[in-house]
Amino acid sequence: MFTGIHFIPPDTKIDFVGMRTITWIISALLTVVPLILIATIGLNMGIDFQGGTLIEIKTKESPANLADIRSKVSGLGLGEVQIQEFGAPDAILIRIASQPTEQEQQASIGKVKEALGDSVEYRRVEIVGPTISGELIASGTIAVVVAMLGILIYVWFRFEWQFAVAAIASLIHDVTGTIGLYSLFQLEFNVSSIAALLTIIGYSLNDKVVIFDRVRENLRKYKRMPLVQLLDVSINETLSRAVLTHVTTFLAMLPFLFFGGETIFGFALAMCWGIVIGAYSSIFVASPLQLILGVKREAFSAAAAPAKGRGAAPARI
């Protein structure tokens, strides 16, 4: 009888929790180094958060002469100006720093159009003022914080407080690591970056809940097994599912990363990194933290007793 292909052998017994001395150091670096990068290098804030003017143009010649465009626009006295290709050799994105007043912001667009003349086609012009950019920063921060609080409450009620704290700590590890990636490579941090962070949080949490569910089940099943061994058994039992999920999702993101163009490159790179760091934190951060927090078998045994009294079977994944 055909039983399917096993990418991970059913009898896999990898000592994940036993490697915690080394992985704690790696996890600390993945949390602290990004914070240092953000403090020293900073984030390349996009126009959404920084304010300013964004002009997308298409040149009649392909590829565009970036040096010529840069010399014409940089000499206009508009402050910081960023010029880059945007998905095609003849598509150019011009970012102009926020000007002191709205009138000067509007005038900066006229200066750029006058400098470039009729040699280009103007596809898009966007202006983001400081008030709007400040509101977007506040809204993005609130969105991430509210998501974290919601996860804390959900995991606390579904499992125990130890699982909730472990989940939040590992998710903070994932978020800081991803933001550090933006700082290290100076990727544009904008509204889509917030969307990437929220997506990574949700995706990573799903992986952690699967392991937590198996840990809870094994706490009821193995009454005398040492907690270190029980955590390893739980991780290994869910390893096949985790590997297949992460690999297929990662492969699905690769076309966006390599062929999606400049518009979604930062989002795709953050998602690919988030898949990797989320899988890592589920195994090497969230699970070993339960040793420190002291997960108690009694809580789950007590919860299982009434169900057995009614003739109900223990829940399985």
Instruction: Check residue 306 and give its pLDDT.
Output: 44
Residue 311 has pLDDT above 60, yes or no: no
Helix H segments across 226-296?
227-259, 262-281, 287-293
pLDDT digits (tens, 9 = 90+) for 33-67: 999 999 999 888 877 777 788 888 888 877 888 88
Question: At 161, is the pLDDT very low, low, confident or very high (cuts 50, 70, 90)?
Answer: confident
- The percentage of residues in the chain with a pLDDT greater than 90, rounded to a whole number, is 16
Instruction: Check residue 254 and give its pLDDT.
Output: 92
Q: How many CA atoms lie within 13 A of 28 on its CB side?
A: 6
What lies within 8 Å, CB to CB, of 175 at 6+ separation is: 144, 197, 200, 201
Cβ–Cβ under 8 Å, residues 231 and 7: no
Average the pLDDT over 73-100 and give the result: 79
Distance CA 5, CA 9 (A): 9
Tell me how many degrees the CA angle 164-169-174 measures, rounded to the nearest 5. Answer: 125
Question: At 305, is the pLDDT very low, low, confident or very high (cuts 50, 70, 90)?
Answer: very low
Cβ–Cβ under 8 Å, residues 7 and 238: no
Mean per-residue pLDDT over the chain, rounded = 82
Per-range mean pLDDT, top range of 195-204, 219-228, 298-307: 195-204
Tell me how many degrees the CA angle 44-50-51 measures, rounded to the nearest 5. Answer: 140
Residue 196 has pLDDT above 70, yes or no: yes
- For residue 183, with 0-12 CB atoms within 10 Å meaning exposed, 13-18 middle and 19 or more buried, which class applies? buried
Instruction: Check residue 6 and give its pLDDT.
Output: 61
Number of Cβ within 10 Å of residue 101's Cβ equals: 8
Distance CA 113, CA 308 (A): 76
Query: Long-range contacts of range 178-181, CB-CB < 8 Å, 24 or more positions apart?
Result: 178/270, 178/273, 178/274, 178/277, 179/34, 179/38, 179/43, 180/30, 180/33, 180/34, 180/35, 180/37, 180/38, 181/34, 181/269, 181/270, 181/273
Q: Which is more confident, 210 or 312? A: 210
Cβ–Cβ under 8 Å, residues 228 and 243: no
Instruction: Check residue 130 and give its pLDDT.
Output: 63
Question: At 107, is the pLDDT very low, low, confident or very high (cuts 50, 70, 90)?
Answer: confident
Q: Give the range among 73-77, 122-126, 132-136 with minimum mean pLDDT.
A: 132-136
Structural domains in the chain, sorted by start:
17-42+133-302 (1.20.1640.10), 52-128 (3.30.70.3400)
How do beta strands 91-97 and 81-85 pair? Answer: antiparallel
Question: At 26, is the pLDDT very low, low, confident or very high (cuts 50, 70, 90)?
Answer: very high
Instruction: Check residue 274 and give its pLDDT.
Output: 92
Q: Give the range among 5-9, 131-135, 138-142, 287-291 with minimum mean pLDDT.
A: 5-9
Structure tokens at 177: 């690591």
The distance of Cα 210 from the centroid of its chain, to the nearest Å, equals 19
User: Does the pTM exceed 0.85?
Assistant: no
Strand partners, 97: 52
Cis ω before 63 (30° cut-off from 0):
yes
In the chain, DSSP assigns E strands to 44-45, 52-59, 81-85, 91-97, 120-128, 188-189
Instruction: Check residue 298 and give its pLDDT.
Output: 64
